[in-house]
Chain A
Amino acid sequence: MAKLPPPEELVKINYSTPVKGWMDVPADFRPGTFSYPGKPDILKYLGFPNPREWSPTDADWKLPPDWREIIMKGFRERLDKYRSFKVFMDICVRCGACADKCHFYIGSGDPKNMPVLRAELLRSIYRGEFTVAGKILSRLAGARKLEEDVVKEWFMYFYQCTECRRCSLFCPYGIDTAEITMMARELLTLVGCNINWILEPAANCNRTGNHLGIQPHAYKDMMDFLCEDIETITGIHIEPPVNKKGAEILFITPSGDIFADPGIYTYMGYIMLFHELGLDYTWSTYASEGGNFGLFTSDTMMKKLNGKMYAEAKRLGVKWILGGECGHMWRVINQYMDTMNGPADFLETPVSPITGTRFDAAAGTKMLHIAEFTADLIKNGKLKLDPSRNANLRTTFHDSCNPARGMGLFEEPRYVLKNVCENFVDMPEETIREQTFCCGGGAGLNNEEFMEMRMRGGLPRGSAVKYVQEKNQVNTLVTICAIDRATLPPLCDYWAPGVQVAGLHELVANALVMEGEQERTMNMRQEPLPGFEDAEEEE
């Protein structure tokens, strides 16, 4: 009998082509793996160089004629400005401890997503242009020359890093890829290679105070709209103070939560909590953004956007600032804010007007995290809570990268969560707290065109969620980050269908027993509370 044709001929499967060194593999831009470039008018508004129409899939990226000099000059300047940059360029021993720590590497298998290789993309140029050995030995010393393909490769891989710093935790020298990615992104910006999903929010934030570019009257309008919902749910009419001078506390939270589902429920939660406490506070439309996409652009942009918080606190004459649930916002506040725009001597160390607790941890920035604030309230028994209203939820908690590895906020949100919901279980130890896995959309990569890559990067988080879903029947993933609230729903939808995503203060609002409220039959999402499911159907 004649030999049958091998079946894989039908589909022409490509078996392992010869393995090439990473320097010989050019970046391949396939839809779903890159973000759209910055629009020219946005670049012009921000005063960024080389505004133009272009696409990463083009052969010609229309770089400025002297792009090489620009980048080398920028490289040198940043080496002089950041010791971290110099040290991280020099001391990596390529031990590989970081390699399998990156969620994008785990999900994609692309070697250039290993943190060490991501950094080598920059290091190879550093060696080739700044060290004698690199200039002489070239490849043998792991060095190469700056070519246009290198810029393309940088754009690909430094916009495939979410600056989550998981690798930095495992590095024996603390080499921080986020730091390297920031430098690379700044260099790319110098020649006009950046992504719109970061720049447009940054521009909007500068002008209107928030990422979506919502003007003050619309912001107020939206707030009233949410208050109508609150009234529907609780029967309580609330008029939150906005731009109120002389209030004790200024509250700032990511604007995403006022428009985006499911962030809005957390947003309503804040309003309800502050109303119930009778807090003397105010919202601001001028500083209506907690997030700071400047962190993903340049130190200058970050400082400029962050400056609004203190400026507004000063103008309104508040005593201290309370910050909402957000991820990278808290990295900025905890590690950059006071250095960039402080010291804020005109403010006072936060003291809870309800419990009298003085928060020394925030004595410098004068800015307190809402989870710390609420945990203190609960600990002092100042909130009347009915966790049975969350009895239908079986929750787990996703630590957001920035509050985890750039602050260390682990127990406060868990304490709050356990007090408002009785069913709580943590995901496997290696996927939470300081070892938490990214949602796949941090550092300005939470755009929809990047969805495919986000799902790859989301696989480790998705696996952990699925694990507790199957083992503990978890149906709700709680998080304290506005970007997470946007990125985790599709992630769960894809990798662990059936798990919904909620903010911490959404659950607080569900459980919060308010004075003068009507009998609560529905939760913040206007779904029936446990015990009222039938009532809804009868209606």
Chain B
Amino acid sequence: MPTLSDLIEKNKEPLLSRWLDLILATYAKETALLWKQQRNQFTNPVGNRIREGIQGILTCLLADENGSYQEQAAVFLDDIVRVRAVQDFKPSEAVSFIYLLKKVLREDLWAEIKASDLFVELLALESRIDSLALLSLDIYANCREKLYAMRIKEVKNVQKRLLERANIICGYSDVQAGGEDRSPE
């Protein structure tokens, strides 16, 4: 009797291909068609990251069932989420791509799952997928926080010396430049 993992392993290529299609379809309007149909010819860093990412994620989901898959998958999730975090997506849209794997599995493997009665395994796998969705949310939030932090840092950087100078005028003249970490003698 085949396990769900075997089943997925056997159908890995078509599953990944459909998952990729569905993800590319979340790109708005014109982009969707452009990137979807450009799969073999015109590609790009975005498509590249997504492709590699989903491959890695699926491998992690299958390879490990004892819990460390999250850590391993984080790298691949990051590849995808980092891009989607700076594209025109709402947070829910940005991390939604992971749920599309559920759709693919259910729709493409439904007959086999039913025939071999693999529902328990499917539920377990779906739980793992759900946890990756939560993880994606963390990554998304990190990326967005980073964006805002970068914006603030940039404002500061542009006038770094002015700010330092201003600080000194405000009464830090006894502190040497770059010496704020040194303990008083």
Contact = CB atoms under 8 A, between A and B. Distances in A.
Contacts of B162: 212, 214, 222, 259
Most buried by A among B35, B42, B88, B159: B88
Contacts of B27: 109
A214 B158 CA distance: 13
Contacts of B83: 459
Contact of A232 (B86, B93, B155, B177): B177
A20 B178 CA distance: 57
Nearest to B36: A16
Contact of B44 (A4, A109, A490): A109
A486 B157 CA distance: 8
Contacts of A108: 31, 87
Contact of B147 (A100, A451, A463): A451
Given A6-B103, A17-B29, A259 B158 contact: yes
A100 B44 contact: yes
A501 to B, nearest CB: 11
B100 A13 contact: yes
A308 interface: no
Contacts of B102: 7
Nearest to A3: B110
Contact of A459 (B46, B107, B114): B46
Interface string B132-156: 0000000000010011001111110
B10 interface: no
Nearest to B83: A459
Contact of A451 (B30, B36, B87, B151): B151
A200 to B, nearest CB: 12
Interface stretch (A137-145, A150-158, A223-231): A223-231
A259 B33 contact: no
Contact of B87 (A6, A17, A19, A456): A456
A262 B61 CA distance: 43
Contact of A109 (B31, B157, B182): B31
A494 B143 CA distance: 8
Contacts of B44: 100, 106, 109
Contacts, number: 155
B94 to A, nearest CB: 10
A452 B154 contact: no
B146 A494 contact: yes
B12 interface: no
B32 interface: yes
B28 interface: yes
A111 B107 CA distance: 32
Contacts of B46: 106-107, 109, 459
Given A6-B103, A17-B29, A100-B44, A264 B161 contact: yes
Nearest to A527: B178
A14 B90 CA distance: 12
A51 interface: no
A535 interface: no
Given A100-B42, A259-B161, A20 B30 contact: yes
B92 interface: yes
Q: Which one of A10, A490, A495, A526 has the highest number of Cβ atoms from chain B below 10 Å of its Cβ?
A: A490
B26 A14 contact: yes
A214 B176 CA distance: 24
B160 A260 contact: yes
Contacts of A58: none
A463 B29 contact: no
B134 to A, nearest CB: 13
Given A14-B26, A106-B45, A108-B31, 13 more contacts: A8-B99, A13-B26, A15-B22, A16-B25, A17-B32, A100-B42, A111-B31, A229-B178, A232-B177, A259-B158, A448-B151, A489-B157, A493-B150
Interface of A: 1, 4, 6-8, 10-11, 13-17, 19-20, 22, 25, 28, 30, 32-33, 100, 106-111, 212, 214, 221-222, 225-226, 228-229, 232, 256, 258-262, 264, 448-449, 451-453, 455-456, 459-460, 463, 486, 489-490, 493-495, 526, 539
Interface of B: 22, 25-36, 42, 44-46, 82-83, 86-88, 92-93, 96, 99-100, 102-103, 106-107, 114, 143, 146-147, 150-155, 157-162, 164-165, 176-178, 182
Q: Which 5 A-B pairs have the closest CB atoms?
A: A16-B32, A109-B31, A7-B102, A490-B150, A448-B151
20 contacts: A11-B92, A15-B26, A16-B36, A25-B29, A100-B44, A109-B35, A110-B31, A222-B165, A226-B161, A229-B177, A232-B177, A260-B158, A261-B161, A448-B150, A451-B150, A455-B86, A456-B86, A489-B153, A494-B146, A539-B182
